[in-house]
Structure formats: C-alpha cells, structure tokens
Chains A and B, each alone.
Chain A
Amino acid sequence: MQKFLPSLVMAALSVALTGCLQSEQQDEKVVINKNPYPSTYKALPLQTTLIKNATVLTGTGTRMDNADVLMVDGKINKIGNNLIAEGAVEIDANGKWITPGIIDVHSHLGVYPSPSVESHSDGNEMSSPNTSEVWAEHSIWPQDPGFEAARAGGITTLQILPGSANLFGGRGVTLRNVPSHTMQGMKFPNAPYGLKMACGENPKRVYGSRKVLPSTRMGNMAGYRMAWADATEYKRAWEKYDTDYQAGKNPTAPERDIELDTLKGVLDGDILIHNHCYKAEEMAMMIDLGKEFNYHSGTFHHAIEAYKVADTLAENGNCAAMWPDWWGFKMEAYDMVHENVAIVDAVKNSCAVVHSDSSSTIQRLNQEAGKVMYRANENGFEITPELAITWITANAAQSLGLADETGSLENGKNADVVIWNQNPFSVYAQAEQVFVDGAKVYDRFDEKYQAKSDFLLGQR
C-alpha cells in the first residue's frame, strides 16, 4: 500500500493540473516484477592482490609486458609497471600471462549437466515452437561438475541458454562461475536476460515431424512474425494501461501472459536476443525481422556463415558468436571456414565472439580462439594475441550487455582475472589461478581453491 500512496498523489496532482474532472478511484497499480528470482551472489572472501611482472592482455586490444595488476575491493585498481601496494597479497607472475576472465556466451552447463542422465535433461522445453515463457535459470543444477572444469579453464562468466528446438526457446541467464548450491547464488547481478531464438533446421525438423508449424524455413519466419505481432499488441496494451493510469484513470490491467512478458522485455530493450542462426541468408532476414518489429536482433550464435555477411553484421551492430572449426554435422554447418571469426572481426565496429556450446571446449576457449588466430595468420591476416583475446572477453561481454562490468582489465571494472602459465594461445597453456570479483576461485596448485561438486563427493 505504501507504493500505492505516491501514485495516488501523482494522480491527484495530474487531475489538479489538467483540470480534468477525474473522480474515479484508482485500484493499486499492477506492476510486473522484472526480477522475481534475484541474484544472491556475493564475491568469495577476497584480499587486495597485486600480480607482478606478467604479460598482460587487457582485453581492450593492448598488450603490456612486465606489467603488474592490482585488485582492490573486487575491482581492477591499477595496471602498470612497478606497482606497489602495501599489505597486498603479492603473486609473482614472471613468465606468466594475464587475461581478463574468460566469458562464454553460449553454454548449457547446469541445464544439460554431467552426468547426462534423463533426470537432468532440462535444457530444451520441446513442447511448443514458442516457449518464451520458460527460463533456463529454472533448470540449472548448480552441482554440474562442468562448472568446476570450466573454472579450471579460466571461465569466470557464462550465459546458460535453453536449447534450439524452438523458434523461441526461452530466457537465458548469465552466471558468475562460482560454486553455489543455488542458481541465485551464481546469478550475475543485474545482467540482462537473453532470449534464445533459433533459425533453420532445428525448429523445422522438430515441429515438422509433428506436422505443426514450422516445417519449413518460411514457417520459421511466419512463427517469429506472428509472435512479435502478438508481443507488439501486448506491449501496446500495457503501455496504454500505464498511460491511462498515469492520467488518473482506473484502467483494467491487461491479462498477464508470462510468454509475452519475455517478448515484451525484448521490445522494451531489457532483454537481449541470442539467436542460434548458422546461415548468411537467415541472419540477413533476422536483422530485418528486428527492424520490422522494432527490436535489435542481437547476437547470432553458431554463425557458421557470418563471414559471408560480415559487413551487414557490423553495420547493424550484431555480434556473431562462432566456433573455430566445428562443421558438417548438419547442412547448415557445411560452409565452415577456419577464418570465420577473423573475417567478421576485420570489419570496423564488428563484434566477433568465440563461443563453446560444449561442456568440453568451454574449458579451452583460449585454444579455440588461438586456432582461429593461427589459421587466419597463415592466410593473410595479422592477428595478435591482444586482439584474439577480445573474442572471448570484451566482445563476449558486449554480447551479454556486460561491457561496463567485465571482459577487460580496466580501472574500476570487476576484477575477473586469469593467470596463465604461458601464452594462453598455446596448446600447452593452463590457467593457474582464476579470480572472480577479485576473489580467488581456482588455483591449479592449491587444493583449497579446487571446488568439488556434491555429485562427485564420496564417489569411488
């Protein structure tokens, strides 16, 4: 009721100001809670830490040699040479490399966990082509041992997405890669939600086999357009409700629709699109679809053919999340080229991302990016480690709407940091220490910092 009072005052004021003889008594305003499962994440115990004498890839395209990184209160405090910090824990990283924490924009950890038993197969609500109402966070099993393995590979932030069977698969959630026995304990505070969409073969195969729309690619497009048309009406109804209420009327709130809440969130700019979309012609259409319904078409995932539309992606501000070399498992994955990421990256204002979609390769995104760098350099590109690292750090953060929080080593940003035993783009590279918000969450040489999931505890 407390919240009600100010709006009554507002209503009274607006009546007085407009001179409108509005005598209607207003019911309590219906407001949709946009964050009903809030993050309870807190940084692990942390100390002021100074890492000395490393080769630092900042994630902003810069490389610094013999540099020091100072982490204070969970933030990057300073990067430079010969830093001094009284009382700080000092780590000698001579000969080692430092990068921002690695970010995977496409993971199914927790929703398709290990062991992959029926009881845990919770990643894809394959019961309707539009399941915008489901949220991946409600499926996450935080005891998936894959989180630990990914942490040992330097992953500090990851987006968990629903699967790709549906045109609209539901909401994705971004997590901090810290151990917790609840989903909320891992949830990245205030990260925007993602909406998983899927182009191409998967939706038309899954629903085509059931003789319902979509069974074709034009059916896919029709399915998206019908849904966005509904969402547009839904948004309009809520806006009318808000406007009328604001005007002192006592309108009836539109009927709550959990599915359309998500789509409206996209139209409102609160939720980011993450679109499983392999092919050039489909990405071009999805960009236009966004324009048709006035939302941004976001990041294209598994964008095997992104190199064919690299200019279009950059012009429209789309990120493309790609593998270095997966191909051939489906027709839409047939035109893979090793240099895909590099070709996309070469365009001005581009946003090239390397992603995993795998509980195995998420442990080696550094190697995945490395493969692209070396193959591209064999074929005329001049990609440096300081550039390649952005594909799995800063650009990934941009894709997730977190560029101001993480993804680069800059003063004031979250102290998400990985210390590598050597150049991270070597097959022999290993993450030695991993920090999330300035707190050590993994140490290769100290069991104290090697978490173990409940599932593996006590097994023999």
Chain B
Amino acid sequence: MKHFKVFKSSLIALALASSTASFAESFAITNATVHTVTEQGVLENATVVIENGKVIAINPETITADTIIDAEGKILTPGLIGSMNQLGLVEVGAVSKSRDASDKKADITFDASLAFNPRSTVIPYSRKGGITSNVVSPRGGDDMFKGQTFVADLSGEFDSVRASNKSVVIDLGSKSKGSRALSLQNLQFKLEDAVKELAKAKKKTNDAKDKKEAKEPSREAQVINALLAGEKALVAYADRATDLLFLLKLKKQFSLDMVFVGAADAVLIADKIAEAKVPVVMTALDNLPGSFDSLHSSLENAAKLTKAGVTVVLTVNGDTHNLYQLRFHAGNAIANGLSPDAALASVTANVAQAFNLDSGTISVGKTADLVLWSADPFELSTKVSQMWIGGKEYSTRSRQDALRDRYTTPSDMPKAYVK
C-alpha cells in the first residue's frame, strides 16, 4: 500500500486533537467501502480520517491528514473483537508455566489482567484474523465466580490492556459433581444478602446516633455491590433454558447488567432474552448435542436469535489459539441464515455493546481499530490488507511466517542458518 504525504495537520485537525497533538500523526483512508456497523450502514467511496488514535471524521468536505491511504475500493470494517478466551494468558496450552488464566483459589475478585503477556506469539497470529481487541476471560478455580474480564488490544505493546475488572464471570449449569441448583441458589443468596447489607449500611450512615464509622465492605462484597449497581455486568456461562430463565429472573429482581455465554438453549426462549436485552455470546459452529443441556445446538441458532432481536456475539470455541478463525465462523453463520451485516455486527459492534467497549464501529470519536480487507472479510480466500489498532498500523506477520520462510528457502546450510 502506498502512503502519500499530502498536507500538514490543519488547524481544524489540531483543534480536534487532544493536548498531546504535537506528536499526533493523522491519516485518511480514502476510496474505501466503509462498513460503519452503525445506522449509517455501508458508505461507498468513503473517507475515514484518523488522528490521535481516534476516528475524527468520516467523509469530511476537505481531507486534512498527514498521510493518505488509497483503499482502492476495498472493504474497511471496524477491527474484529474476540471475547471469552484467554489471549495473552496462555502461550502453550499444555505448558503449565505458560498458563495464567486459572488458579484453584481464584474468586470473584480475580484480576487476570495482571498476568497479561502482550508479547505472546498468539497475538500477532490472531491479527491475521483482523482481530484488533479482545475481551479476555479468566477461567478461575473452584469458585463458581471465575474472576473478572479485561479488555486488551492486539498491538502487542506493553500498554495494551485497555481496561480491567470489567465484568464478573460466573459458571453455571450442569455439574459433574453435585447439583446445578446449589450454584443458582448461592448466586441468589449472595445478591439478596448484599442488598440487605447495603440497606443496613445505608441505615447506619443515616443514623446520626451511630458515631461509629461504617465498616468498609470486603473486596468480594464490593464486587457484588458493583454488580448490583450495574457498574459491572454478570457474564454467565449457562446452556439449559431453565438456567437461563432463572438468570433472567435474577436480572429483573436485582436490575443486573447481564450477558449469557454459551446459551445453547437460547433459541427456546429467544423472545424473553431479546426482551430482557441480554446479549448472547455463542459459537456459530456448535451444532452437536454435546450434553443434555445442549440438545438444540444448531448452525442456524445465530440467525434465529438475531431474527428474534437478541444481540448475538460470536466467539470461537475451544482453544484461544483459534481466535483468528472468528471471521470464518461468522462466514459460516452467514451460510446458515445470518445476514452479512448482522454477522459483521456480531464480531464488532455487538461485542462492544455487550462488554461496554469504546470500539466496534467506525464512527467519529471511537477508537480507530480498523481493518482493510483484500475482499469479503468472511471468505476463506480473503486476507487482511492493512490493519490499525488505536490508530497505529500493525503487521499480521507472525512466528509462523518466519518458520514457513525458513523451510521454503533453499539453502546449502542447515535450516538453522536461515533467519
């Protein structure tokens, strides 16, 4: 891709930029087919101007930028957003010292972002899939609360954790030991007890006679209180319709912000989920009855839920290393009835909506996580032409490319000398 330097930053651009604008590089992507994933829809021959890591203009009357990139009509989308995997927390699945997503003692306060490794080889590899940011989920330990999610971009820079302690992950549903009822009950009790404690504390503070300072709630209680205050979402793994219905009841009772993950039976109660505005994080390719909780898995479920008005977030099942395949999963969802626009939303805007992120659309003021595709983003034959994370361009070259080049380069010397 050719870069043309045209104008120095204009006064307007300077005015729009933040106080550190003296080092801000601006660039414009012109002649792109821009999928905004907003109400604006798809803009043909469009221009997007980026400065200071943000989109600052779409189709401005005059283009003012340090660099102009001619997209030659190619498709520009928001960067795709992965979710509910362990990116940066695992280098090799079976190498115990390279795993930081779980700990037997982890509880509701578990903040795995402290272990995030931006230098993981999985990160540049995942960029091949046009993934620019990711909601990382801890796997926790024995506790039903697995810890809290965090958001990281895929720049590979040391400052790539964008936000931590975003939402609380809970694992519900069938148990190989014991009953699912107990964890549902425990969740309800914890919420009820927290409400009572809050009421008590409020009463104490209001009571002038009580000179004693109100005791600060425990760290665990603070997290529950944040759930009750709607400051954090409860991200619940559950599949069977009865579990999902119970959660919807709790959502209503405690005004919780809630996200379902898995939710194999969601199609049975799609209208209720849509009405409650609970996003569903699911995999497009699960279509086998893996358990008695998922007898209704189908390749068409993403389409059916979307049609019913549910906000669907697509994610990649199985290993974190497969994250790059997200766009192919979306493609398969399209083959099974999801519209291409809805499919794109399910890996961009819907993820941002479900997890409250400042990305996922191409709109003024949003983080400039952008991908320019060689063709249809979901097609197997398509590749990432260029991508930007927080307004900075990153390569999709990974360790895999280095290995391929080594073994396809003829040499009289052992391969170890080919670098």
Contact = CB atoms under 8 A, between A and B. Distances in A.
B332 A325 contact: no
B288 A149 contact: yes
A390 to B, nearest CB: 18
A445 interface: no
Given A115-B290, A456-B295, A328 B403 contact: no
A145 B285 CA distance: 15
A114 interface: yes
B93 A455 contact: no
B319 A328 contact: yes
Q: Say which size band chain A's interface belongs to.
A: 35 or more
A378 B383 contact: yes
Contact of A367 (B291, B295, B328): B328
Interface string B303-321: 0000000000000010111
Q: Which of B322, B325, B408 has the most A CB atoms < 10 Å from its CB?
A: B408
Given A325-B325, A428-B331, A367 B403 contact: no
B291 A117 contact: yes
B403 A427 contact: no
Interface in A404-429: 425-429
A360 interface: yes
A440 to B, nearest CB: 21
Given A329-B92, A330-B93, A374-B381, A339 B289 contact: no
Contact of B380 (A201, A330, A335, A371): A371
B288 A145 contact: yes
A238 interface: no
A340 to B, nearest CB: 8
Contact of A331 (B94, B335, B383): B94
A456 B289 contact: yes
A337 B93 contact: no
A116 B289 CA distance: 8
Contacts of A326: 319, 321-322
A423 to B, nearest CB: 9
Given A115-B291, A425-B380, A428-B331, A327 B321 contact: yes
Contacts of B403: 335, 337
A334 interface: yes
Given A329-B92, A329-B319, A374-B380, A116 B290 contact: yes
A380 to B, nearest CB: 7
B111 interface: no
A217 interface: no
Interface string B82-99: 000000001111110000
B388 interface: no
A370 B380 contact: yes
A431 to B, nearest CB: 11
A456 B289 CA distance: 9
Majority secondary structure of chain A interface residues (helix, strand, loop or mixed):
loop
A212 B81 CA distance: 46
Nearest to A453: B289
A432 to B, nearest CB: 12
A146 B93 CA distance: 26
Contacts of A329: 92-94, 319, 321
Nearest to B408: A343
Contacts of B287: 149, 360, 363
Contacts of A370: 380-381
A426 B400 contact: no
Given A343-B408, A360-B286, A328 B335 contact: no
A329 B319 CA distance: 7
A11 interface: no
B289 A328 contact: no
A328 B328 contact: no
Interface string A348-380: 000000000001100110010011001000111
A371 B380 CA distance: 6
A328 B380 contact: no
B88 to A, nearest CB: 13
A331 to B, nearest CB: 6
Nearest to B332: A427
A327 B94 CA distance: 11
Contacts of A456: 289, 295
Interface string A307-329: 11000000000000000011111
B378 interface: yes
Contacts of B380: 367, 370-371, 374, 425-427
A427 B292 CA distance: 30
27 contacts: A114-B288, A115-B289, A149-B288, A307-B404, A307-B407, A308-B407, A308-B415, A328-B93, A328-B320, A329-B94, A329-B321, A330-B94, A330-B95, A337-B404, A338-B400, A338-B404, A339-B404, A360-B288, A364-B332, A367-B332, A367-B380, A370-B380, A371-B328, A378-B383, A426-B381, A427-B331, A428-B335
Given A115-B292, A428-B335, 4 more contacts: A114-B290, A329-B93, A329-B321, A456-B295
Leading 9 A-B pairs by shortest Cβ distance: A427-B331, A328-B321, A329-B93, A114-B288, A330-B94, A337-B404, A428-B335, A370-B380, A374-B381
